[in-house]
């Protein structure tokens, strides 16, 4: 599935409500823009935790604050977006070659992550210097 999502796009997930509560649904085609192959969530986070601090070579992700709030900072080499996460009805699209940092967790903050592939450590870029070099190369005309 070729995604039409862009860096940091807010994807409206919506919610179906009745008097008892709300349900939010995430589907590959309708919301993620990629086939969801893995689901994980960050939880039990300390308020001063710093998560992320890496990018991926090929992985696409959709991130949702399903409880509480935190700050998500995305950088793609040319642009930085600082996103206040706290709405469980909105997902943020994180494409490949995006450096992400998550911090400022409220009590009970939980970040759901939907990913386009199973875990593969070789897809990670964990060095900021390496990320900047790869991003600069990918931004060059003809790449």
Q: Is 54 a catalytic residue?
A: yes
Q: What is the C-alpha separation between 83 and 42, in angstroms, rounded? A: 17
Instruction: State both tokens at 135.
Output: 């991003």
Q: Does 117 bind ligand TYD (CB under 6 A)?
A: no
Report how far apart, in Å, the C-alpha atoms of 49 and of each of 44, 52, 53, 69, 104 are: 10, 10, 11, 13, 7
Site mask for ligand TYD (CB under 6 A), range 52-91, x = bound: x-x-------------------------------------
Is residue 45 a contact partner of residue 109, using CB atoms and an 8 Å limit? Answer: yes
Q: Does 42 bind ligand TYD (CB under 6 A)?
A: yes
Q: Least Å distance between CB 13 and ligand TYD?
A: 21
Q: Which residues of this protein are in contact with ligand TYD, per CB under 6 A?
A: 38, 40, 42, 51-52, 54, 119
Catalytic residue annotation: 54
């Amino acid at each position: 599935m070729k995604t039409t999502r862009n860096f940091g796009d807010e994807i409206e997930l919506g919610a179906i409500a009745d008097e008892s509560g709300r349900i939010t649904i995430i589907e590959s085609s309708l919301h993620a823009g990629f086939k969801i192959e893995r689901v994980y969530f960050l939880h039990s986070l300390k308020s001063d935790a710093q998560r992320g601090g890496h990018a991926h070579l090929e992985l696409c992700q959709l991130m949702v604050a399903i409880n509480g709030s935190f700050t998500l900072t995305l950088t793609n080499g040319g642009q930085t977006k600082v996103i206040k996460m706290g709405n469980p009805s909105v997902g943020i699209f994180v494409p490949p070659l995006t450096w992400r940092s998550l911090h400022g967790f409220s009590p009970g903050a939980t970040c759901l992550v939907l990913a386009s592939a199973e875990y593969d450590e070789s897809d990670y870029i964990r060095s900021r210097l390496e990320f900047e070099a790869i991003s600069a190369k990918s931004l060059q005309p003809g790449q």
